[in-house]
Amino acid sequence: MAAPDPPPRPGKPPLPWRARLLVGAASTLHGASLRGDGTVNRFLLSLFDRAAPPTPAPVAGVASTDHAVSDHLRVRLFTPTTTGDGDSKQLPVVVYFHGGGFVFHSAATAQYDELCRRLASAIPAVFASVDYCLAPEHKFPAPYDDGEAALRWVLAGAGDALPSSPAAVFVAGDSAGGNVAHHVAARLPNNVAGLVALQPFFGGEAPTQSELRLRGAPFGAPERLAWLWRAFLPPGATRDHEAANVPAAIRRDADGGEGRWRAFPPTLVCVGGWDVHQDRQRAYAEALHAAGAVEVTVAEYPDAIHAFYMFEELADSKKLVADVAEFVNQRTEQLKKRELDRAKH
């Protein structure tokens, strides 16, 4: 006999009224824009998905500029104008992939513009926010191809748009962007100093305990999640496809004797206690560790909903920014020390 579904988590996540209203409005808008025929009402989305312009004149200590990587691919660079150690300091570069279920948002979305600006200032680091192609118009593997192209562009010097050569290059992303960041890092592991996965979006055919328990939590509706995976995955693919069920794909590689995950870069996985995806995120970290990845750290935020980092006023949002800054700066210093030791010998 199958085990009964776990009861829903009692109560509601601790959110201030403003955040609660915005989460409800975003969920309603997303739901209204998804059509039954598998297409998206992009006009409706454009009415509410406010775009922020680039700011060549610094705002809050960070300047931003837009750059063309190819005919269809754009990147917004966020460059801190003060680093605390003088203008000559080499900064790390973080190639960032926004969330939105592979379907929503862009690098110019106001909330992502603000998030990248906060992170760029706090670390400090240059952020290269990637405007990758969206589903359902562009299915798997389009975002991964765009992500790889953007990373290679940064590694090649970003068209001389960087203030100096990078001290180190990281990849990062939230939700679906965390999924993209993982696959980009897996393609070019030797070129990536570290991966920051903020509540990465993974899937699978068999529901997890958190997916059953938190189906009523913000952005947790199973019907919505199923629609998003159908929009992104190849026609006929299930959610056990390697793009979605990443923990299972890593375990298969390890069981088959492949040692490629030992070269995977140090990884920070951020998990929220009110996030429907949390079981898969922990399983991802466990699979990487079991497959031989050198360093995998899980940061837990027990009271956090999915996408909590968008709300600067939340204590957990501030903690996440500090955790990411610590991770990036520690790995950058480790790389610098390694280079110095290499130069001495």
Of the candidates 183, 279, 306, 316, the residue annotated as catalytic is 306
299-337: string of b/e by CB count within 10 Å (b at 16+)?
bebeebbbbbbbbeebebbeebbebbbebbbebbeebee
CA distance 345 to 136: 52
Of the candidates 49, 131, 174, 275, the residue annotated as catalytic is 275
CA distance 317 to 32: 28
Determine contact, residues 272/278, Cβ cutoff 8 Å.
yes
Determine contact, residues 275/214, Cβ cutoff 8 Å.
yes
CB count in 10 Å sphere of residue 14: 14
Q: In which element (H, E) is residue 268 found?
A: strand 267-274
Q: In which element (H, E) is residue 177 found?
A: helix 176-187
275 belongs to the catalytic site: yes
The phi, psi pair for 9, rounded to 5°, reads -65, 130
Of the candidates 64, 129, 175, 317, the residue annotated as catalytic is 175
Token duo for residue 146: 């765009």
341 belongs to the catalytic site: no
Hey, which residues are catalytic here?
A: 175, 275, 306
